[in-house]
């Protein structure tokens, strides 16, 4: 009797072990089981919002579940970040945001209400966007070399605008100053329209700007684009605008950002992989690529590992620039 009991017990234990081992696979295969919500620290109509809504529509069709975009701007982006940080790590609440929050903010504040590495799982890249060197249509400068030469001749005599203290544009210009060996006067603005209107009228001499933010003014002939600082190649659709190095600026320097999707820490790896695969598939669709091209964005089908590497590299780069320029927000 005892041998029979032991054999039965072993079979039962083996069945339980098999059931436990296959549970994650079953859970992964059924994801998502309810509406997926992507929380954004941006207002409706912004670039990240428009892209995520389009991608979300394709994901909903692929997953047969609703995907909604929840805009929660304000409080330095911490409203959106905090909500996702508190969510269950099951993949049904996601965070869509740019490198400012995950790589730059840790160096601007002595204490953040979140930890980019400890609190979140990298999931998928969405797109990258680089910045142009933007001047007014009546600016005497014809190249970045002209800008640099003027700034060298008149330290603090050249002004540049940004969309706020500690913004990517502010920190990017600090990086530009260090690379070119110049010093300029920073003029922060609260609103993007105010900033680029000031550039167009000559109130400030120049600013970094993306195709999405300055494209309409450029096409209207109100501003000039001296160079593209987003990479070593010219931006598609703006092939007549030279790269920063081609225009006489510092070689090897890039100013831009990326937008990506994150999940709460401890979200199961199979779920993360399913989300990333769905996003990558959506980004390959011609309609999505056309939408991005309209904004001057470049599709970025990064997986968790590549996203984590990009975040780590930008974190290190921003640390050096912020420390050198002594930029702080608290």
Q: pLDDT digit string (tens) for 42-51?
A: 999 999 999 9
Q: For 193-218, how does the pLDDT look when each residue is reduced to its tens digit (9 = 90+)? A: 999 999 999 999 999 999 999 999 99
Strands 120-130, 93-98: pairing is: unpaired
| Mean pLDDT, range 235-262, rounded to an integer | 95
- What's the rounded mean pLDDT across residues 271-289? 97
For residue 29, the model assigns a pLDDT of: 59
Question: Does residue 7 have a pLDDT over 80?
Answer: no
DSSP bridge partners of 224: 135
Superfamily of domain 132-228: Periplasmic binding protein-like II (3.40.190.10)
Q: Determine the pLDDT at residue 27.
A: 43
Asked whether residue 275 carries a pLDDT value surpassing 70, the answer given is yes
Burial group, residue 203, by CB count within 10 angstroms (0-12, 13-18, 19+): middle
Distance, in Å, from the CA atom of 185 to the CA atom of 156, rounded to the nearest integer, reads 5
What pLDDT is recorded for position 71?
98
Q: Which fold has domain 35-128+257-325?
A: D-Maltodextrin-Binding Protein; domain 2 (3.40.190)
| Statement: residue 13 has pLDDT above 50 | no
pLDDT band for position 4 (50/70/90)? very low
pLDDT of residue 21: 44
Q: For the chain, where do the domains classified as CATH 3.40.190.10 start and end?
A: 132-228
Pairing between β-strand 159-162 and β-strand 185-188 as defined by DSSP bridges: parallel
pTM over 0.85: yes
The residue among 279, 271, 282 whose CA lies nearest residue 32 is 271
Mean confidence (pLDDT) of the chain: 92
pLDDT of residue 8: 41
Confidence band of 330 (pLDDT split at 50, 70, 90) = confident
- pLDDT of 154 > 80? The answer is yes
Q: In which residue ranges of the chain is CATH 3.40.190.150 found?
A: 35-128+257-325
Predicted confidence (pLDDT) at residue 9 exceeds the cutoff of 80: no
Kindly give the residue spans of alpha helices, DSSP state H, lying in 228-303. 269-283, 286-295
């Amino acid at each position: 009797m005892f041998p029979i009991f032991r054999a039965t017990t072993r079979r039962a234990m083996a069945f339980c072990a098999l059931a436990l081992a296959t549970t994650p696979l079953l859970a992964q295969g059924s994801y998502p089981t309810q509406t997926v919500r992507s929380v954004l620290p941006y207002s409706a109509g912004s670039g990240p919002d428009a892209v995520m809504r389009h991608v979300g529509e394709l994901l909903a069709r692929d997953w047969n579940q609703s995907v909604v975009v929840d805009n929660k701007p304000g409080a330095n982006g911490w409203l959106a970040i905090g909500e996702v940080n508190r969510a269950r790590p099951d993949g049904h609440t996601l965070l869509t945001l740019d490198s400012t929050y995950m790589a730059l903010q840790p160096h601007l504040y002595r204490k953040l209400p979140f930890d980019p590495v400890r609190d979140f799982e990298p999931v998928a890249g969405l797109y990258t966007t680089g910045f142009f060197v933007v001047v007014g249509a009546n600016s005497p400068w014809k190249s970045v070399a002209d800008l640099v030469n003027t700034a060298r001749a008149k330290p603090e005599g050249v002004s540049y605008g940004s969309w706020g203290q500690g913004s990517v544009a502010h920190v990017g210009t600090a990086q530009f100053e260090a690379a070119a060996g110049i010093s300029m006067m920073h003029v922060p603005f609260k609103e993007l329209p105010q900033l680029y209107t000031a550039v167009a009228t000559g109130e400030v001499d120049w600013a970094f700007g993306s195709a999405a933010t300055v494209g309409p003014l450029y096409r209207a002939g109100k501003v000039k684009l001296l160079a593209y600082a987003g990479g070593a190649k010219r931006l598609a659709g703006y092939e007549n605008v030279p790269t920063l190095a081609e225009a006489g600026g510092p070689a090897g320097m890039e100013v831009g950002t990326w937008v990506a999707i994150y999940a709460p820490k401890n979200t199961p790896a199979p779920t993360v992989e399913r989300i990333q695969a769905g996003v990558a598939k959506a980004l390959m669709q011609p309609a999505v690529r056309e939408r991005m091209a309209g904004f001057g964005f470049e599709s970025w089908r990064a997986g968790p590992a590549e996203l984590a590497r990009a975040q780590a590299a930008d974190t290190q780069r921003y640390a050096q620039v912020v420390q050198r320029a002594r930029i702080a927000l608290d």
